[in-house]
Amino acid sequence: MEFFGHVIDGQERGSLDGARFASVDPWTQQPWAEVALGGGPEADLAVTAARTAFDEGPWPRMGFAERGALIHRLADLVTEHAEELAQADSHDMGKPITDARTKDVPRTAQNFRFFADHARLAMAETLPMDTGHHAYTRYEPAGVVAAIAPWNFPLMLESWKVAPALAWGNTVVLKPAEDTPASATILARLALEAGIPPGVLNVLHGYGPDSAGSALTADPRVDRITFTGESGTGRVITGAAARNLTPVSLELGGKGANLVFADADLDNAVDWSIKAVFTNAGQVCLAGSRLYVQREILDEFLARFVAAAEALVIGDPRDPATQIGPLASETHYAKVRGYVEDGAGKVLTGGLGDGWTVRPTVVVDAPADSAIVCEEVFGPVVTVTPFDTEPEAVAAANDSPYGLNAMVFTENLSRAHRVSAALRAGTVWTNCFFVRDLRAPFGGFADSGWGREGGNFSREFFTEPKAVVMAITP
| Cα distance between residue 356 and residue 449, in whole Å | 29
CB of 371 to ligand NAD, least distance (A): 15
Give the residue with the Cβ less far from ligand NAD, 153 or 305.
153
Phi, psi of 264 (to 5 degrees): -75, 155
Phi, psi of 331 (to 5 degrees): -60, -45
Contact 336, 377 (CB under 8 A): yes
| Cα distance between residue 386 and residue 161, in whole Å | 38
Letters for 386-425 (x = contact with ligand NAD by CB under 6 A, - = none) are: ------------------x---------------------
Q: What does the DSSP 8-state code read for residue 280?
A: G
CB of 384 to ligand NAD, least distance (A): 21
Give the residue nearest to ligand NAD (CB).
208
Give the residue with the Cβ less far from ligand NAD, 68 or 229.
229
Within 318-376, strands assigned E span 346-352, 358-364
* Residue 253 found at the interface with ligand NAD (CB under 6 A): yes
* Residue 449 found at the interface with ligand NAD (CB under 6 A): yes
Give the residue with the Cβ less far from ligand NAD, 331 or 389.
331
Number of residues that bind ligand NAD (CB under 6 A): 32
Q: Is 285 annotated in the active site?
A: yes
Selecting among 42, 158, 178, 251, the annotated active-site residue is 251
* Residue 183 found at the interface with ligand NAD (CB under 6 A): no
* Residue 151 found at the interface with ligand NAD (CB under 6 A): yes
Q: Is 432 annotated in the active site?
A: no
Helix (H, G, I), strand (E, B) or coil at 464: strand
Please report, as residue ranges, which positions from 160 to 179 form the binding site for ligand NAD (by CB under 6 A): 175, 177-178
Give the residue with the Cβ less far from ligand NAD, 42 or 178.
178
| Cα distance between residue 447 and residue 401, in whole Å | 6
Tell me the angle at which helices 82-93 and 182-194 cross, rounded to the nearest 10 degrees: 160
Q: CA 187 from chain center: how many Å?
A: 16
CB of 4 to ligand NAD, least distance (A): 15
Contacting residue, 254, 317, 350, 380, with ligand NAD by CB under 6 A: 254
Selecting among 285, 330, 374, 453, the annotated active-site residue is 285
Please report, as residue ranges, which positions from 205 to 244 form the binding site for ligand NAD (by CB under 6 A): 207-209, 213-214, 217, 228-230, 233, 236-237
| Cα distance between residue 21 and residue 5, in whole Å | 11
| Cα distance between residue 431 and residue 264, in whole Å | 8
CB of 180 to ligand NAD, least distance (A): 8
Contact 283, 379 (CB under 8 A): yes
CB of 164 to ligand NAD, least distance (A): 14
Applying CB under 6 A, which part among 201-209, 306-314, 346-354, 383-391 lies near ligand NAD?
201-209
Q: Any residues with CB less than 8 A from the CB of 280 and at least 6 apart, and which? A: 95, 99, 152, 153
Helix (H, G, I), strand (E, B) or coil at 38: coil
* Residue 447 found at the interface with ligand NAD (CB under 6 A): no
SS (H, E, C) 173-218: EEECCCCCCHHHHHHHHHHHHHCCCCCCEEECCCCCCCCHHHHHHH
**Binding residues vs ligand NAD (CB under 6 A):** 148-152, 157, 175, 177-178, 207-209, 213-214, 217, 228-230, 233, 236-237, 251-254, 285, 376, 378, 404, 444, 448-449
- Which of the residues are catalytic? 251, 285
